[in-house]
C-alpha cells in the first residue's frame, strides 16, 4: 500500500468517526449548547479585551482559542480539562485573589465562576473546527502528474549519443550537447582564446581574476594538459570554497540577523558561513553535506571538535527570517516551521512545498497532509536561534540564550578582565537608577518607548547583569552557536485548517512527500524528530530530485544558465530541461563519483562545450536566432556579468589591496541581542566596518536590511529567500556608483599608485600593466595611444584648474615633521559636478596632477563593461 493511501485512510477514519474539538472528540450537543450560551459570552465580555487575537495578549495568554487556554501564558496552563482545581483560570477569577481578573470592569459573578468550573470539569468542550471534505483524499489530477511530470520520474540511465563529428567531443557531456546541435543542423562556434579562457575559469572557480603572471604562464604553456593543470590548481585553492560557498549561502538564505519586523542579530552566524566554506574546500560529499545541515546533531561525532562542527552545520535550519514581533507563540512556531520547510524543499528539491500550508498545492501533486507530515518533523525540533517572539515590553524579551547550542567548553575565549570591571560599574549604576525610581510616580510614567520608566530601567539592569554573568560564570561561558536540536517530546502535529496556527485539524503522521517514490526509505523514528530519516530520504540515490537539482545548479554557475532555467522550481510551473538526458547523466555522475562537487565541476569545465568562445564569428555563421536566441543548446559560451562580490573582490585584487586571509568572526558578533534599526547607530557602525574592510566579500557582515554599500548596486542575493538565480540588472545607479563611490575611487587611486610605482620605463608600459591588472589583457596600440593622450590632457587641465584656485586651497609642500600635518586637498576637476560644487561622497583626491590623471584612467577601466563581464 502506498504511504499516501495509508496516511489518507488514517485521516478519513478520524474525520468520519468523530467531530473534532481542538484535541478532544465530543458528540454531546448539550455540552456545545452550554458552551455557547454560558461560557463563550462570559469570556467575550470579561476577557477578550486583554486576551484575544484582536489584542496584544496580556501575559501571552489567549482565551478566545482552546489551545491558547490549554497552553496558557507566562505563568502556566489556564485550563486543565477535567481538573478545575488545577486550572489557573478559575483561580484568577475567584474572590480573594490578589490580582483578581479582570483588573478593570465587572468581575465575574459566583454563577459565572460556577459555570466555568463545570465546563472545565466536563472536559472544556469547544466547537469543532470545520475540516475540508477534501482533506486526505486522493486527487486524480495528482496521480496523473506523478506519472507524467518529468521531474518526478526516477533517474534514467542515459547513454551518450553518437555524433557525426566524432573528433569534436572531449567527454560524454560534449556528445549530449553536440547531438542536440546536430539534430538542428547547427554547429558550435570556435574555441575561446587562451586569455579569455583562463579569465573565465578563474572567476568561475574562485570568484577572482587571474594574475598577469598566471595568464602568461598559461598562454605560454604548450602542453596538451595545460588547461587541466590550471583547473586542478584552482580547485585546490582555498579561494574555491569561498566562491562556491557563496553559491550555497544564496540558497541557504544566509543572513546574520532575524530580519524585517525587529532586526535582532545572530552573533554567531559566521560560524555556519565558515562551515560552508570549509566543506566546499574539503570537497565534502554532497550527501554528507546535506545530512549534516539537516541532522548534524543526531549524528555520532568522534571528537568534541567534530561535535561542534556538526552542531554548527544545523545553522542551515536556524538562520532564517523570524518575526520576533509576532505576539502569538503558536504562530511564531508555525511560521518558523514553514520557513524551514521552504528552505529545505526549494534548495534541495526545487519544489514550492510551502504552497501546501493552507490548501492542497494548486499545481504540483503536494497535498496539505504532506506539508504537515513534514511540519511534524520540525515542530519536533527546537529552533535554537537564540531569539523568541515578543513576550512583553523591552528589547531583552527577544533574546533567549537558553535556545543557543553550547559548543565544547575548551574552546571558550579567555575572560577579558577590563571588560568585566567596566560591566560591574555599569551594573552598579543601572541598579542605583532603577532603585531610585522603582515604585515612584516618576517610575510609572511612560518613557520614549511607551513603557513605564521603571520597566525600561529594569530591563537595562537585567541585560547588563546577563552580560556580566556570561563573562564570569564558567558554565555560561561555553561557546555557543545557532542551530537546532530535537524537542524533548517529539510528536506528530495537526493539520492547521487554512494554515491558521490555532485551528487544529486531524493529526498527520510524520513523514515525507508522496509526490514521488523513494524506494526503501526509512520511516521516522518515533523517539526522534525525524530529521535524520528526512536527510536520508533527501540524499537517497533513488530520490529523483536532489541530485538533479544540485547538478543543475553547478551547470548554471559554469554555463550561465541551468539546463532547467528555473533552478529553484522543478515543479509543473517551472521550466523543462533543455537536455533532460544530460541532466540525468550528470546526476548519475555525481552519485558515481561519491557525490563530489569538485569532480563534477572539473568534468564540466574540461569539456569542449565549456571552452567555446562567447563571440559570434562572422555573418556567414548560421545563428539559431529564431530557434535558440537564448543559447539553450550551448552553441557558444554564454557571457555573464560578474556578481557583486566578484566585482568588489576584483576591484581590490587589481588595486593590490585585497586581504586574502579569513577574518576572525564577524563584526556582527559584537552586536547586542537587541533590535537594530536600518538607520540606527548599530547599522551605521556595521556599514562603516564593511566599507573599510579589505577582506573578501563573503566575509563582510551580512545583516538583513543592512547590506554593505559596496555590494548594494549589483544585485546581491535576497537574504530572506532561497536565491538560486540572482537578478541581473543594468540600471543607471550602477554607473553612478562606479563614478561616484568612494570605495571605487579609493581603489582606483591605489591602483594608480601601484602602476606609477612600477619600474616600467614608459607610460605606455604602465598603461599595459593597468589593462592587464583590470581587464586581464594587454591594451591595443589604439587604446595605448588614446590613454596616453588622455593622461596628458587630464594632467594639463588639472594643473590649469589648480592655478585658478585660491592659495589657501592649494597644497604647499613642506619638509620635516610639519609635512605630516593635515593640509587642504588639491583641487580635483573630477570632483566637480555641473553646478560647480564639490561632490562630498567621492571624497578621494590625488596628491598631484600626475596621480590624478592616472586615478581617472584606472577608474575608467573599473567602469568599463569589459571589467564587469566575462566572455
pLDDT at 422 over 50: yes
The mean pLDDT of 822-842, rounded to a whole number, is: 40
What is the residue whose three cell numbers read 544566509?
Answer: 254
**What's the Cα-to-Cα distance from 368 to each of 24, 180, 372, 373, rounded to whole Å?**
22, 40, 6, 9
Convert the pLDDT of each residue in 678-714 to its tens digit: 667 778 888 889 999 999 999 999 999 999 999 999 9
Grid cell, residue 257, equals: 540577523
Sign of CA dihedral 592, 596, 597, 598: negative
pLDDT at 806 over 60: yes
β-sheet bridge partners, residue 494: 507
Residues 612-635 as b or e (16 or more Cβ within 10 Å = b): bbbeeeeeeeebbeeebeebbbbb
Does 115 share its domain with 171? no
Does 577 share its domain with 458? no
Q: What's the pLDDT score for residue 12?
A: 54
pLDDT at 438 over 50: yes
As a whole number of angstroms, the distance between CA 198 and CA 211 comes to 10
Convert the pLDDT of each residue in 588-639 to its tens digit: 999 999 999 999 999 999 999 999 999 877 655 666 656 788 999 999 999 9
Q: What's the pLDDT score for residue 836?
A: 33
As a whole number of angstroms, the distance between CA 251 and CA 247 comes to 7
Residues 523-542 as b or e (16 or more Cβ within 10 Å = b): ebeeebbbbbbbbbbbbbbe
Does 751 share its domain with 827? yes
Of the candidates 360, 363, 377, the residue with the CA atom closest to the CA atom of residue 498: 360
pLDDT at 730 over 60: yes
Domain-terminating residue out of 640, 668, 690:
640
pLDDT at 548 over 90: yes
Instruction: Please give the residue range of the domain that contains residue 611.
Output: 151-186+194-236+549-640
pLDDT at 185 over 70: yes
pLDDT at 717 over 70: yes
As a whole number of angstroms, the distance between CA 117 and CA 124 comes to 9
Least confident of 135-144, 262-271, 806-815: 806-815
Does 858 share its domain with 754? yes
Q: What's the total number of domains in the chain?
A: 4
Q: Is residue 309 part of a domain?
A: no
Q: What's the pLDDT score for residue 578?
A: 97
Does 759 share its domain with 840? yes
Q: Is residue 333 part of a domain?
A: no
Q: Is residue 73 part of a domain?
A: yes
The mean pLDDT of 243-253, rounded to a whole number, is: 98
Please tell me which of 111-125, 176-190, 341-355 the model is most confident about, judged by mean pLDDT.
341-355
Q: Is residue 86 part of a domain?
A: yes
The Cα diameter of the chain in Å comes to: 103
What confidence tier does 506 reach under pLDDT thresholds 50, 70, 90? very high
What is the residue whose three cell numbers read 458552551?
Answer: 35
Least confident of 237-241, 520-524, 618-622: 618-622
Q: What's the pLDDT score for residue 621?
A: 64
pLDDT at 557 over 90: yes
Least confident of 174-188, 336-350, 809-823: 809-823
Does 558 share its domain with 617? yes
Of the candidates 257, 674, 668, the residue with the CA atom closest to the CA atom of residue 456: 674
What is the residue whose three cell numbers read 522550481?
Answer: 569
Q: What is the mean pLDDT of the chain?
A: 88
Of the candidates 385, 411, 398, 405, the residue with the CA atom closest to the CA atom of residue 466: 398
Does 115 share its domain with 161? no
Q: What is the 3-state secondary structure (H, E, C) of 276-301?
A: HHHHHHCCCCHHHHHHHHHHHHHCCC
The mean pLDDT of 472-499, rounded to a whole number, is: 87
Q: Is residue 513 part of a domain?
A: no
Identify the helix (H) or strand (E) that includes residue 68: helix 66-71
Q: What's the pLDDT score for residue 22?
A: 42
The mean pLDDT of 632-649, rounded to a whole number, is: 97
What is the residue whose three cell numbers read 598562454?
Answer: 219
Does 115 share its domain with 156? no
What predicted TM-score, i.e. pTM, was given to this entire model? 0.86
Domain-terminating residue out of 619, 640, 661:
640
Sign of CA dihedral 795, 799, 801, 806: positive
The mean pLDDT of 332-346, rounded to a whole number, is: 97
Q: What's the pLDDT score for residue 474?
A: 55
Does 758 share its domain with 858? yes
Q: Who's near 417: CB < 8 A, 6+ residues apart?
A: none
β-sheet bridge partners, residue 21: 24
The mean pLDDT of 831-852, rounded to a whole number, is: 58
Q: What's the pLDDT score for residue 597?
A: 98
Does 161 share its domain with 93? no
Angle at 171 between CA 210 and CA 559, to 5 degrees: 45
Q: Is residue 757 part of a domain?
A: yes
What confidence tier does 823 reach under pLDDT thresholds 50, 70, 90? very low
Q: What's the pLDDT score for residue 60?
A: 79
Confirm if 677 and 706 have CB atoms less than 8 A apart: no
What confidence tier does 511 reach under pLDDT thresholds 50, 70, 90? very high
Q: Is residue 591 part of a domain?
A: yes
Does 42 share its domain with 105? yes
Does 769 share its domain with 865? yes
- Name which residue leads in pLDDT, 105 or 715: 715
Q: Is residue 389 part of a domain?
A: no
Convert the pLDDT of each residue in 319-329 to its tens digit: 999 998 888 88
Q: What's the pLDDT score for residue 595?
A: 98
Q: What's the pLDDT score for residue 816?
A: 52
Identify the helix (H) or strand (E) that includes residue 691: helix 681-692
Amino acid at each position: 500500500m502506498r504511504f499516501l493511501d495509508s496516511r489518507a485512510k488514517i485521516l478519513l477514519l478520524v474525520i468520519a468517526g468523530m467531530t473534532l474539538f481542538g484535541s478532544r472528540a465530543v458528540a454531546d450537543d448539550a455540552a456545545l449548547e452550554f458552551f455557547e450560551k454560558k461560557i463563550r459570552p462570559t469570556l467575550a465580555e470579561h476577557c477578550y479585551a486583554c486576551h484575544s487575537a484582536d489584542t496584544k495578549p496580556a501575559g501571552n495568554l489567549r482565551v478566545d482559542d482552546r489551545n491558547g487556554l490549554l497552553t496558557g501564558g507566562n505563568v502556566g496552563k489556564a485550563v486543565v480539562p477535567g481538573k478545575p482545581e488545577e486550572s489557573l483560570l478559575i483561580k484568577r477569577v475567584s474572590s480573594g485573589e490578589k490580582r483578581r481578573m479582570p483588573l478593570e470592569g465587572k468581575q465575574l459573578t459566583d454563577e459565572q465562576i460556577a459555570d466555568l468550573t463545570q465546563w472545565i470539569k466536563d472536559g472544556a468542550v469547544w466547537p469543532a473546527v470545520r475540516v475540508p471534505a477534501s482533506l486526505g483524499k486522493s486527487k486524480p489530477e495528482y496521480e496523473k502528474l506523478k506519472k507524467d511530470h518529468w521531474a518526478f520520474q526516477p533517474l534514467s540511465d542515459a547513454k551518450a549519443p553518437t555524433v557525426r563529428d566524432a573528433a569534436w567531443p572531449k567527454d560524454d557531456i560534449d556528445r549530449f550537447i553536440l547531438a542536440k546541435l546536430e539534430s538542428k543542423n547547427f554547429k558550435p562556434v570556435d574555441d575561446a582564446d587562451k586569455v579569455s579562457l583562463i579569465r573565465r575559469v578563474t572567476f568561475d572557480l574562485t570568484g577572482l581574476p587571474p594574475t598577469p603572471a598566471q595568464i602568461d604562464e598559461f598562454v605560454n604553456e604548450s602542453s596538451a594538459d595545460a588547461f587541466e593543470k590550471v583547473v586542478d590548481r584552482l580547485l585546490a585553492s582555498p579561494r574555491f570554497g569561498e566562491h562556491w560557498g557563496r553559491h550555497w549561502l544564496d540558497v541557504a538564505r544566509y543572513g546574520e540577523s532575524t530580519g524585517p519586523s525587529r532586526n535582532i542579530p545572530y552573533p554567531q552566524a559566521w560560524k555556519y558561513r565558515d562551515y560552508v566554506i570549509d566543506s566546499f574546500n574539503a570537497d565534502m560529499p554532497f550527501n554528507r553535506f546535506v545530512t549534516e545541515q539537516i541532522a548534524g546533531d543526531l549524528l555520532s561525532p568522534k571528537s568534541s571538535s567534530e561535535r561542534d562542527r556538526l552542531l554548527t552545520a544545523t545553522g542551515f535550519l536556524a538562520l532564517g527570517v523570524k518575526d520576533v514581533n509576532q505576539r502569538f507563540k503558536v504562530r511564531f512556531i508555525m511560521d518558523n516551521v514553514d520557513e524551514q520547510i521552504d528552505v529545505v524543499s526549494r534548495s534541495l528539491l526545487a519544489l514550492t512545498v510551502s504552497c501546501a500550508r493552507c490548501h492542497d498545492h494548486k499545481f504540483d501533486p503536494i497535498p496539505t497532509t504532506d506539508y504537515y507530515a513534514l511540519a511534524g518533523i520540525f515542530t519536533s525540533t527546537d529552533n535554537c536561534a537564540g531569539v523568541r517572539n515578543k513576550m512583553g515590553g523591552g528589547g531583552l524579551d527577544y533574546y533567549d540564550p537558553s535556545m543557543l547550542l553550547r559548543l565544547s567548553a575548551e574552546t571558550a575565549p579567555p575572560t577579558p578582565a577590563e571588560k568585566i570591571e567596566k560591566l560591574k560599574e555599569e551594573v552598579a549604576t543601572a541598579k542605583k537608577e532603577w532603585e531610585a525610581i522603582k515604585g515612584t510616580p516618576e517610575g510609572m510614567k511612560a518613557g520614549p518607548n511607551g513603557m513605564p520608566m521603571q520597566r525600561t530601567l529594569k530591563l537595562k539592569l537585567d541585560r547588563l547583569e546577563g552580560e556580566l554573568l556570561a563573562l564570569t560564570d564558567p558554565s555560561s561561558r561555553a561557546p555557543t552557536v545557532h542551530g537546532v536540536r530535537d524537542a524533548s517530546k517529539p510528536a506528530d502535529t495537526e493539520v492547521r485548517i487554512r494554515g491558521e496556527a490555532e485551528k487544529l485539524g486531524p493529526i498527520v503522521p510524520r513523514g515525507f512527500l508522496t509526490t514521488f517514490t523513494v524506494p526503501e526509505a526509512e520511516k521516522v523514528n518515533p523517539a526522534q524528530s525525524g530529521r535524520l530519516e528526512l536527510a536520508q530520504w533527501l540524499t537517497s540515490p533513488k530520490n529523483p530530485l536532489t541530485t538533479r537539482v544540485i547538478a543543475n545548479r553547478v551547470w548554471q554557475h559554469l554555463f550561465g544558465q541551468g539546463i532547467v532555467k528555473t533552478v529553484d522550481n522543478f515543479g509543473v510551473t517551472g521550466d523543462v530541461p533543455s537536455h533532460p538526458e544530460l541532466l540525468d547523466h550528470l546526476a548519475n555522475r555525481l552519485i558515481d563519483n561519491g557525490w563530489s562537487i569538485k569532480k563534477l565541476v572539473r568534468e564540466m569545465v574540461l569539456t569542449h562545450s565549456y571552452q567555446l568562445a562567447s563571440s559570434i564569428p562572422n555573418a556567414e555563421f548560421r545563428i539559431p536566432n529564431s530557434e535558440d536566441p537564448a543559447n539553450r543548446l550551448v552553441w557558444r559560451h554564454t557571457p555573464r556579468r560578474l556578481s557583486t562580490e566578484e566585482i568588489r573582490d576584483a576591484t581590490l585584487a587589481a588595486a593590490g589591496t585585497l586581504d586574502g586571509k579569513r577574518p576572525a568572526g564577524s563584526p556582527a558578533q559584537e552586536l547586542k541581542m537587541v533590535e537594530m534599526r536600518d538607520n540606527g547607530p548599530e547599522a551605521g557602525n556595521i556599514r562603516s566596518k564593511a566599507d573599510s574592510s579589505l577582506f573578501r566579500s563573503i566575509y563582510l557582515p551580512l545583516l538583513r536590511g543592512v547590506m554593505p554599500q559596496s555590494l548594494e548596486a549589483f544585485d546581491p542575493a535576497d537574504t530572506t529567500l532561497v536565491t538560486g538565480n540572482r537578478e541581473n540588472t543594468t540600471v543607471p545607479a550602477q554607473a553612478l556608483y562606479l563614478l561616484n563611490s568612494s570605495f571605487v575611487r579609493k581603489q582606483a587611486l591605489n591602483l594608480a599608485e601601484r602602476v606609477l610605482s612600477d619600474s616600467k620605463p614608459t607610460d605606455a608600459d604602465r598603461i599595459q600593466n593597468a589593462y592587464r591588472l583590470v581587464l586581464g589583457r594587454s591594451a591595443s596600440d589604439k587604446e595605448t595611444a588614446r590613454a596616453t593622450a588622455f593622461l596628458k590632457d587630464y594632467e594639463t587641465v588639472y594643473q590649469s584648474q589648480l592655478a585658478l584656485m585660491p592659495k589657501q586651497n592649494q597644497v604647499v609642500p613642506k619638509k620635516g615633521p610639519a609635512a605630516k600635518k593635515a593640509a587642504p586637498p588639491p583641487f580635483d576637476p573630477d570632483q566637480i559636478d555641473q553646478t560647480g560644487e564639490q561632490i562630498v561622497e567621492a571624497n578621494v583626491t590625488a596628491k598631484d596632477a600626475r596621480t590624478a590623471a592616472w586615478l581617472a584612467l584606472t577608474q575608467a577601466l573599473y567602469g568599463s563593461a569589459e571589467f564587469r563581464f566575462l566572455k
